[in-house]
Amino acid sequence: MTTRDEALRLLRPQETMVAADPTDPYVDVPHPADSEPAAPEPTEDRFPRVDWHAAFALDLDDIDWLPGQLMERGQQTALVGSGKSGKSIFVLDWIYRAITERPFLGDRARPPIRVLYFDRENGLRDIITRLRSFGVTEQELDLFSQRFDYRMFPRFSGALDASTIAAAELLALVDELQPDVVVLDTVSRFISGNENDSQTWLEFYRLVHAPLKARGVACVRLDHTGKDDGRGSRGSSAKSQDVDHVWELTAGEGVAWVDKANDTETITTHLKLKRTHTRTGVGDDTFTITRRGIRKRGGVWLPGGTRHELTAWTAGAPDEPALEGTVEWLMQQLDAAGVPRDWGNRKVKPECARLGIRARSEVVEEAVRRRKTDTTYRSVTFPADVPQTVFSNEAGGTFPGNVPPRSTNFDVSADQTFPGNVGGTSEKPDDFPTFPQPYKRLGNVGERASPPPKDGPHGTCSVCGSRMVILYSGQDRHPLCGDPPAPTDQEPAETPPSSHQERST
């Protein structure tokens, strides 16, 4: 029975989708499914019951990791990265080591796995060149035939988010080949819906991820980031909600070392693999990786010269160094060199050249923009011993301490009574000074004004004896009255009135 016939057998009677043109698998038209209604499956098969005794008897402390400890068996994972960051190369190296029982990223060698790979991005030359650069030999091709099923530019009968027959075709292959992992490269090539529409990914989960997870088959789908790499994958946030883990791969600037004697060059690229979303929280969250590749100068990559090495891994320490060539790395370099954060591109670019800091023009421009607008930064040239003011919660902060610098937003929210307090709150900072309330000199309409106290509400001047006004509240004398007379046993001589007394008379 062909894959398509098997897929049709699995479908319920409904309208399904097939390709309108055999040469164009992306355009769908209605296609009638089997006309005979299928008998419903038994209730226990459709609604499997949890056997609590058997479930609690399982040893769940022993995690069934796949090689590299990036995911467990049966989990659904997304690998996100910008274009040309090396997602496909990274996954291909992982697969090569996983099917040949080699260690990967510091993890021990584990039992081999079977992989079903659907690729709509890379050509045959790219695939073979990369595998040779990893060191694949002809003696290993038999293992590849048994454990690595690679489908180039597959022609499903429709999109995997919209066509039940297309999803059934994929699942029929899974049932036939029994892989441990299914890879989709790249997921946007297998859908027809809008990436910004959450319904696209809800349907993709229903048709692909949920059936794979029910079968205990893991899935790795490669995805692109948007224009801003820091905001994760492009499109709807539902992308990160229908998988168990989301890993983001960030690549720094590649550095070349030339070996003139052998006419080769070694390209070293620093990578950061960070888990941004997880359903279980098990395992490490961040890996720092170095990719090395050796090639003839201006030529092809040499066999066995490309590999991914684990540099370090952390649980997401906030002070970990940024990858060389990234915006964060350049910002750290500029801070370490004491470059003022208010400098623009015209000053920063020649300063980078003077300091020997190599970075692309767009990286410099983004670093300059972030250094000017990022409120979490503090000036590296600002004196560290400046005392804390009542308007800032941190020494060296801006004024007011909770208002971003260079702010142009002068909108006032409802019930706002202090800078930064919105939404009906009126609390002031704990260290904000409390001033005495002014004396109520005039009452409201129909109300008698209260007479002032004899010695005044703000105290009495210790020199001239007159009342203190609110301007000098908290002081013991007027500034123009001078120091009080020193105590003496003699009768004080009559002194001329002070200038303040002269004005008051």
Are 84 and 205 members of one domain? Answer: yes
Q: Is the pLDDT of residue 104 over 70?
A: yes
Regarding whether 333 and 186 lie in a shared domain, the answer is no
Q: Are 386 and 378 in contact (CB under 8 A)?
A: no
The DSSP secondary-structure symbol of 308 reads: E
**Cα 393 from Cα 402, distance rounded (Å):** 8
For position 190, which CATH number holds? 3.40.50.300
Structural domain span for residue 462: 436-482
271 located within any domain = no
Confidence of residue 77 (pLDDT cuts 50, 70, 90): very high
Q: What angle do CA 215, 220, 223 make, to 5 degrees?
A: 140
Q: Based on the fold, state whether residues 207 and 352 are members of the same structural domain.
A: no
Answer whether residue 48 shows pLDDT above 90: no
Same domain, 355 and 215: no
Based on the fold, state whether residues 369 and 442 are members of the same structural domain: no
Q: What is the DSSP letter of 164?
A: H
CB 271 within 8 A of CB 293: no
**Res 400 pLDDT > 50:** no
Task: Decide if 364 is inside a domain.
Answer: yes
Q: For residue 53, how many other CB atoms are within 10 A of its CB?
A: 7
71 within domain boundaries:
yes
Question: How far is 359 from 326, CA to CA, in rounded Å?
Answer: 8
Comparing C-alpha atoms, which of 241, 95, 104, 97 is closest to residue 179? 95
Report pLDDT for 259.
Answer: 86
Q: Please give the share of the chain, as a percent, with pLDDT higher than 90.
A: 41
User: Considering the domain boundaries, does residue 295 fall inside one?
Assistant: no
Lowest mean pLDDT among 31-35, 169-173, 270-274: 31-35
CA distances 35 to 1, 20, 165, Å, are 19, 20, 14
**369/443 same-domain check:** no
The pLDDT value given to residue 40: 64
- As a whole number of angstroms, the distance between CA 58 and CA 49 comes to 16
Residue 17 and residue 91 in one domain: yes
Q: List % helix, strand, coil for the chain (3-state, nearest 5).
A: 30, 20, 55
Contacts of 305 (CB under 8 A, 6+ apart): 133, 266, 292, 293, 294, 295
Per DSSP, the three-state class of 161 is: coil
- Cross-strand partners of 304: none
118 lies in some domain: yes
Q: What is the dihedral of CA 115, 120, 122, 128, to 10 degrees?
A: 40
Q: How many other CB atoms are found less than 10 A from the CB of residue 36?
A: 7
Scanning the structure block, which residue is given the tokens 């000199």? 441
Biggest CA–CA distance in the chain, Å, is 125
Q: Is residue 491 assigned to a domain? A: no
Q: How many domains does the chain have?
A: 3
Highest mean pLDDT among 72-76, 340-344, 374-378: 72-76
Q: Which pTM was predicted?
A: 0.57
Q: Rounded to whole angstroms, how far apart are CA atoms 211 and 298?
A: 46
In a domain, 235, yes or no: yes
Q: Do 13 and 121 fall within a single domain?
A: yes
Instruction: Answer yes or no: is 380 within a domain.
Output: no
Task: Specify whether 456 is located in the same domain as 335.
Answer: no
How do residues 243-298 score in pLDDT, each as one tens digit?
999 999 999 877 888 888 889 999 989 899 999 999 998 999 999 999 999 998 88
- How high is the mean pLDDT of the chain? 76
